[in-house]
Chain A
């Protein structure tokens, strides 16, 4: 057996293993039932921090989605932190403030210091028992806050972050449709991760934090590309809990074009890599339970898989394509002789690699089952068009993401060398 085949089999094994693991988590653990009998007066005070940098287009809509929240307004504190915007963001916020004087909305301005610093500025002003952050490109469903406060009231005591179910806001373009599928699947995976306490991201848009604890932990990391991930790692490191609140919908504007998507994932991957390195001591560390053993290994493996995916992509598609082109060049692009028997395709089942095909097909079936469960979980109908977009999602999207990851690894590698 060739070396490359063995590597491929190892990759199939690991991928299949984790897919099966999540299916087991799905089947075995029933979600904790939330008792709705308990009367909740929503007396908890909530601070909502909205960091904004040049968001004149969307800040109004974001603020309005907060004002429309089904929650007693006397218990809401809304803090907009203008992170040195150079456009009309300030103007727009002031308009909303004057039009809604019954709400506690405040605007703070600072020099441009980045999102982490803006969040900390907001956090220092926050007086609520809980606080949530809402990016200016995201919108929150009116029931979401209530559901999250209910969730805090009925679930275990040591939860310090409750995460929402993040969806793509009205996907229109090709890349947004693909990401819409990705987000729906992420919601389901996060639900399973939540069951075994493996959440390692508290999505920037509308995760609900326990204010006192986050303040005690030192607030957000201001020098981090993905501060929403860093805080989640820190919470895990301190053996505190992060749980997903079911059906707490928050909508975010997904990148429209490929270059926007590239910029976003570049930031995510780099941040992810730095945070994984920052918390590398948790890797395979039994004292962090499933998070250390399982999730940290998965995070490391995802990067290794990205690199191998790209290598195999070249090996199995680009190389044969180049070879075919070179063959055509050898025969002077005279394809007539080959055309004669082009219709004489006789498929010989014996010539197929049945082992690999069997394993891949099982993995594909399980994946399709997971996607079905994801749509059911997110209460989304699968339309015919969703099915169409599933094809590029399953077969192309992850190769592209892997390419981005490889580019970043290369960038970082050469970036480090330049410093020396």
Chain B
């Protein structure tokens, strides 16, 4: 028997497969640019929100000491930071599923880091000015060479879910340090050498801070201890030990 090779069928199948693949890839590229546009739009919105906040603060410090403006500022701050964390979460998803435009996404990522640092500074400033009872956490992590970072992320998310707008977490992806000098500036201020590292109320905690300890540290930084979650049974002594712990940690 003379054996046949169905060359035309091989080629036709290859062409059709390629067609379907290029359709899929085109859709992917299209969607990617839509994602990028949306991320950029959200980031621009952040910029405007921040400008508004700054102006409110300036107004506050220039003209009045009255409580009412403080509460307005607090509401505005809450809202902006909430928007920031939502759009950051979205951006992380987009970045994860994006196969193209890596450079553009890195640029947007930088913008988010700057936003985070700005808001962190602003939150601390307005905290003093308006006596807002909130806790700020600056969270340094790395996606590339830190296998335990997700553990800290999970625990921070856990407390964020509990405290909501009273706990402000500002994640800083240290992998972008070579692109963004501001990361280096903050890193050297707190002498950050390893990941994960969190800064809570000007104190540094290196490595993964476990659930119990993290809960106590956060609770400790609230002025009004009534809002603490699951620590009502704790006595004064416990809190004191934690304070000592954290100071040791800081040194």
Contacts and interface: CB of A to CB of B under 8 A. Distances in A.
A13 B21 contact: yes
A290 B4 contact: yes
A341 to B, nearest CB: 7
A403 to B, nearest CB: 28
B167 to A, nearest CB: 11
Interface string A324-336: 0001001110100
A66 B154 CA distance: 67
Interface in B115-159: 150-151, 154-155, 158
A354 interface: yes
Given A330-B155, A350-B31, A240 B12 contact: no
Given A337-B158, A351-B90, A20 B16 contact: yes
Interface stretch (B47-55, B70-78, B92-100, B235-243): B92-100
A224 to B, nearest CB: 24
A358 B27 CA distance: 8
Contacts of A337: 158, 161-162
Size category, B interface? 35 or more
Contacts of A348: 90, 93
B23 interface: yes
A38 interface: no
B10 A239 contact: no
B85 to A, nearest CB: 13
Nearest to B162: A337
A286 interface: yes
Contacts of B4: 196-197, 289-290
Contacts of A196: 4, 6, 9
B13 A350 contact: no
A340 B57 CA distance: 33
A7 interface: no
Contacts of A294: 6, 10
B27 A24 contact: no
A398 to B, nearest CB: 20
A320 to B, nearest CB: 12
B46 to A, nearest CB: 18
A327 B5 contact: no
Contacts of A21: 9-10, 13
A352 interface: yes
Contacts of A352: 97
A25 B211 contact: no
Nearest to B152: A330
Interface string B23-38: 1110110010011001
A353 B97 contact: yes
* Chain A interface main SS type: helix
A5 B99 contact: yes
A291 B5 CA distance: 8
A288 B90 contact: no
Given A289-B4, A352-B97, A354-B27, A340 B161 contact: yes
Interface in A5-19: 5, 9, 13, 16-18
B181 interface: no
Contacts of B16: 20, 24
Contact of A290 (B6, B17, B162): B6
A68 interface: no
Nearest to A293: B5
Contacts of A331: 154-155, 158, 211
Interface in B154-205: 154-155, 158, 161-162
B227 interface: no
Interface string A294-331: 10000000000000000000000000000100010011
B20 interface: yes
A205 B90 CA distance: 58
A41 interface: no
Contacts of B58: none
Nearest to B26: A355
Given A351-B97, A352-B97, A358-B27, 9 more contacts: A17-B17, A20-B16, A330-B158, A331-B211, A337-B161, A351-B90, A353-B28, A355-B24, A355-B25
13 contacts: A16-B20, A288-B3, A289-B5, A293-B5, A330-B154, A330-B211, A337-B162, A348-B90, A348-B93, A350-B31, A353-B28, A353-B97, A354-B28
Across the A-B interface, the 5 shortest Cβ-Cβ residue pairs? A289-B3, A355-B28, A337-B161, A21-B13, A358-B24
